[in-house]
Amino acid sequence: MGACAGGRRWSHSEVVHDVVVPSLWSDKAREIVRVLRETGDLRRLVRRFGDGNNSHPLIRSMVHNNIRREGPVVLAPMTLGSALRKALAVSPVEIINDIKTSCLRGRRGAGFPTGMNQNLLGRNILGKRGFHFDIRIQMGAGACVCGEETAMISSCEGHRGDPKNRPPFPAQKGYLGMPTTANIVETFCCVARILDDGPGWFSEIGTRGSTGTTLLSVSGDCSGPGVYEVPFGIPLSELLTIVGAEDAGAVQVGGPSDRMVSRAEFHRTICYDDLATGGSAMSFGPNRNILKIALKFLDFFVEESCGYCTPCRVGNVLMKQKLEQIIEGRGQIGDLEHLQEHGTTMKLTSRCGLGQTAARPVLTTLHAFRPVYETLLRKRPEEPCLASFDIRAAPQESEKLAGRASEVFAA
């Protein structure tokens, strides 16, 4: 129920008997037991609700948005319905032209509260006959792959959240066989802002190839974890200063399927043309074990692979085994090339985005931290036999089944 890393300790929320209990520390365990024994009502432990729309009487969620910096686009105050009024006053072609002029590019995963309870949804919106629009909020199945575009469409159709083969692409044949646009809420927020304040205003923020701002969920070894809205083009070093992670030794720009960069690359900028991020940045202090971090990410992908295609189902396991051997000092020089080739094969042959990007934690740490890998390899004396094969460990499972030990004659 509590977490402690890098000398820092965080509280978090847990679902206990269907009640979301916020601000939990490990020392709350006794209190939970006491409340359960005395009253059986865990709601007594809920002393505060989340902020923003999460605290709305209809939502009453305990989640805190932890927004640290509001930018001018996504998180800035907005007049409700204003963009929609402007959109209804012009033709669809004019709206599309405005979006093109703004150079808006689709944002990736980020969720935050959105207002409804104002006649901006439903039939004949704002009095425009025939303009019907509704929102249906559907819970995802929870697996990582369900965030993949076609798997998400499968979920919405009521099927198992499996990716679909492409082509046809969703824009041709998507939800229920109809042309579908799949975009995250953040992108639609940008569209509303462009309609309200104009494409010229929007395209002046950020860089030429990456206009506007982006939301970044920052976590890890830093003093200010939370959500930041920053303009595209911000140098990574500047972001690290803002979030209190000046001493970072490495940053995972994006989630597990993105890239790890070293201090030598902190001058690079966050934008589509340089460090394109999936909406998050994880900071790691100078004493963190980079290879163990990559191994954790691989663990995640082994768990999250849906198992449909071999490159991802088997590839993640093989990558993980090889990385474990290297960490344990049983790696050989050729193993680095093996990891590289294996990761490239997964990237080229996996069926969906999950498998195509799952090797990136290894491939990018191999690129940015190759000496760390090589140091572990060099510790091994030159041996003619396969160093990665552990003759004592290999028969252990069979020994357990047979109920007897093997004889190993080693020189």
Contact residues: ligand SF4, CB under 6 A: 145, 163, 305-309, 312-313, 350-352, 354-355
Q: 108 or 164: whose CB is closer to ligand SF4?
A: 164
Output 210 or 316, the one with its CB closest to ligand SF4: 316
Minimum distance, C-beta of residue 290 to ligand SF4, in the bound complex (Å) = 25
Separation of alpha carbons 350 and 342, rounded Å: 12
Of 113 and 353, the one with the shorter C-beta distance to ligand SF4 is 353
Cβ at position 146, least distance to ligand SF4 in Å? 10
**What's 3's DSSP letter?**
E
Report which of 312, 274, 10 is spatially closest to residue 162, judged by C-alpha positions. 312
Give the pairing type, strands 3-5 and 8-10: antiparallel
Q: Is residue 284 within 8 Å of residue 294, measured between CB atoms?
A: no
Closest contact distance (angstroms) between CB of 65 and ligand SF4 is: 30
Least CB distance to ligand SF4 at residue 368 (A)? 24
Shortest Å, Cβ 260 to ligand SF4: 21
**Residue nearer to ligand SF4 on the CB measure, 214 or 257:** 257
Residue 170 CB, shortest distance to ligand SF4, in Å, is 16
Minimum distance from CB of 300 to ligand SF4 (Å)?
12
239 versus 354: smaller Cβ distance to ligand SF4: 354
For CA atoms 315, 321, 322, 323, give the dihedral sign.
positive
Q: Please say which residue, 175 or 308, places its beta carbon nearer to ligand SF4.
A: 308
Closest CA to 194 of 120, 112, 101: 101
Tokens 């997964």 correspond to 346
Q: Which is nearer to ligand SF4, 341 or 399 (CB)?
A: 341
21 backbone dihedrals φ, ψ, rounded to 5° = -105, 115
Least Å distance, CB 301 to ligand SF4, is 8
Phi and psi angles of residue 215, each rounded to the nearest 5 degrees, phi first: -90, 135
- Burial letters for 340-364: b for 16+ Cβ neighbours within 10 Å, e otherwise? eebbeebbeebbbbbbbbbbbbbbb
Task: Find all residues with CB under 8 Å of 331, minimum gap 6, and list them.
Answer: 322, 325, 373, 376, 377, 380, 387, 388
Q: Name the one residue in this structure whose structure tokens are 């070093």.
A: 237
Q: Which two tokens stand for residue 34?
A: 């006491």
Closest contact distance (angstroms) between CB of 145 and ligand SF4 is 4
Least separation, in Å, of the C-beta of 364 and ligand SF4?
18
Contacts with 297 (C-beta within 8 Å, 6 or more apart), sequence order? 256, 361
Q: Which is nearer to ligand SF4, 240 or 309 (CB)?
A: 309
Nearer to ligand SF4, 108 or 193 (CB): 108
Query: Within its chain, how far is the Cα of 204 from the centroid?
Result: 28
Closer by beta carbon to ligand SF4, 195 or else 309? 309
**Total number of residues shown for the chain:** 411
Strand bridging mode 234-235 / 269-270: antiparallel
Q: Which residue is nearest to ligand SF4 (CB)?
A: 355
Measured distance CA(325)–CA(295) in Å, rounded: 11
Residues 6+ apart with CB under 8 A from 80: 115, 118, 120
Whose Cβ is closer to ligand SF4: residue 207's or residue 350's?
350
Q: Residue 361: left (phi > 0), alpha (psi -120 to 50), or beta?
A: alpha
Rg (CA), the chain: 25
Let me know: does 110 contact 279? Beta carbons within 8 Å.
yes
How far apart are CB 362 and ligand SF4 at their closest, in Å? 16
